[in-house]
Structure formats: structure tokens, C-alpha cells
Amino acid sequence: MRNQQGFTLLEIVVSIVILGIALVPMLGMFSTAHFSLKHGNSSTEAVGLAQEIMEDLKLQHLKGIGLGSSPRQAIAGHPDYSYEVHVNSAGSRLKQVKVTVYYNLAGQERSISLLTKMGEWYD
């Protein structure tokens, strides 16, 4: 008998099946990682926009902003995001300001809120 080297057809088929079984869960991990990355990017963008809106309110010294809620408004340059501002009294000459930014991710509306207290400034 000769010493034959190589793989039989059965060995090749079995190795392909084992490799296929191992690859299916790995492909699922890639999908999950992609969604997590997209969610992280969207929420980071929403936090940045909420901070920007809050800083604009601080620069305006809350002028023209009474107690209560503003209607939801679109954010210029960011068509997938909108925001609301809620202002409540937090004591004498102090207001509690909450900025909520809304965005859609995979067909679901999500939101991020920032809350701070601001003193009323008089010019």
C-alpha cells in the first residue's frame, strides 16, 4: 500500500459544517456590535446637542423663557433630532431647566435629558 496524503471528501465536508456552525454566532455578534455602535453615536450626538441648547439658554440668561414647557422644536442641521425645554421654579430667583433631546433609533423614539438650575439675572 502506498502512503497517501491529503483529505478525504468526508473530512472536508465535516470541517465545512463545523466551520459553518462556528461562524453563524459570530455573524450575530457583528450585527449586535453594529447596532451598539450606532446607538452610541446617536446618544453621544443627542448629549452634545442638549449641552449646546443648555449653553444657549445660559447665554440668553433665560430671557423670554417663562415657567412651563416649550413645544417640541426641530434642531437646525440635525433633521433626526428635536428638543423641548421645561422650566420650573426652584426657589426665589432660581429656575430648574430641563432640556430633552429626542431621536429615533431602529424605529424607536429615544430621548436624553439634561437638568440644571439657573439663577435669574437682571440687566
Q: What is the pLDDT of residues 62-95, one digit of tens each?
A: 666 778 888 999 999 999 999 999 999 888 878 8
Q: Where are the domains of the chain?
A: 9-119
* Pick from 78, 77, 66, 76: nearest CA to 104: 78
CA distance 46 to 90: 26
Backbone angles phi, psi at 80, to 5 degrees: -90, 5
CATH T-level fold of 9-119: Pantoate--beta-alanine Ligase; Chain: A,domain 2 (3.30.1300)
CA distance 27 to 36: 14
Q: What is the pLDDT of residues 2-60, one digit of tens each?
A: 666 778 889 899 999 999 998 888 888 888 888 888 888 999 999 999 999 999 888 87
Grid cell 434642531 in the structure block, residue: 75
Strands (E), the chain: 68-69, 73-75, 78-89, 94-105, 108-119
* 8 Å CB contact between 117 and 97: yes
Instruction: Indicate the pTM of the whole model.
Output: 0.72
